[in-house]
Copies of this chain bind each other. A is one copy, B any other.
Amino acid sequence: MEKQNEVVLFGTWASAFCKRVELALKIKGIPYEYVEEDLTNKSVSLLHYNPVHKKVPVLVHNGRPISESLVILEYIDECWNNTPKLLPEGPYQRAKVRFWVNFFDHQIMARLLPIIMTRGEEREKAIKEFNELLKVFEEGINKDFPEEFPFLEGKTLKYLDIVVGTALCNYEAFHEVVDVVFSHEKNPVIMAWVKALKNHPLMKETLPPHDKFVDKMREKYLGQYP
């Protein structure tokens, strides 16, 4: 008998890229099996399903694998195209969301590692750059999606909420381990948004527990800088 809508997600619990897929599946109400990968000892299945990048997340739907978190999110939205939709309906609004999601991934996410991995002046510079980019992002989304901000609790999570929330809702762990990188004073729209996102029941259910995440960051990054 052929399996219908069998969904398996290969992920790792501390990765924001995996968390975005988990959250999208939950928002859509799609039942799935979750396989936690040990990235120091990748499973045969992961290497089989993502031979090109050998990375998580990988979504396997009825035996067919899809890799790369943003490609997976678009797939989920197209495949389970009942409400709630992750992307808006109009082509122009969709383009704007895609533009800002790419900006977030390629500019903002890409600056997090230098903040974590450097010290002293270098880190100051990285934090300054990060903040300038966050400012551009904040002003941009506020201008392009005036109807979305301030984000009201109880609203359905959409594409930008997923991408930004799974990355930034852990900011307290980040501040505890590394440094204060953003604040209400510097980034009021994003802080208000992230705080509201943190209280969303599906986000709460999806985010890694604070203490476990703090330990993971300490182990992973600070181990190198005793």
Contact = CB atoms under 8 A, between A and B. Distances in A.
Q: Chain A interface: which size bin? A: 20 to 34
Contact of A95 (B74, B92, B94, B103): B74
Interface stretch (A15-23, A37-45, A60-68, A187-195): A60-68
Interface string A92-104: 1011101100110
A96 to B, nearest CB: 8
Interface in A50-82: 52, 61, 64, 66-68, 71-72, 74-75, 78-79
Interface in A84-118: 91-92, 94-96, 98-99, 102-103
Contacts of A91: 75, 78-79
**Oligomeric state, in number of copies?**
2
Given A52-B103, A67-B99, A140-B52, A74 B92 contact: no
A96 B94 CA distance: 20
A103 B64 CA distance: 19
A94 B75 CA distance: 8
Nearest to A76: B91
Given A66-B92, A92-B66, A95-B66, A102 B52 contact: no
Nearest to A133: B52
Contacts of A140: 52
Contact of A71 (B75, B102, B136): B102
A75 to B, nearest CB: 4
Contacts of A61: 92
7 A-B pairs closest in CB distance: A78-B91, A75-B95, A79-B91, A71-B98, A66-B95, A71-B99, A71-B95
Interface of A: 52, 61, 64, 66-68, 71-72, 74-75, 78-79, 91-92, 94-96, 98-99, 102-103, 136, 140
15 contacts: A52-B103, A52-B140, A61-B92, A64-B92, A66-B95, A66-B99, A67-B99, A68-B102, A71-B95, A74-B94, A74-B95, A75-B92, A78-B91, A79-B91, A79-B92
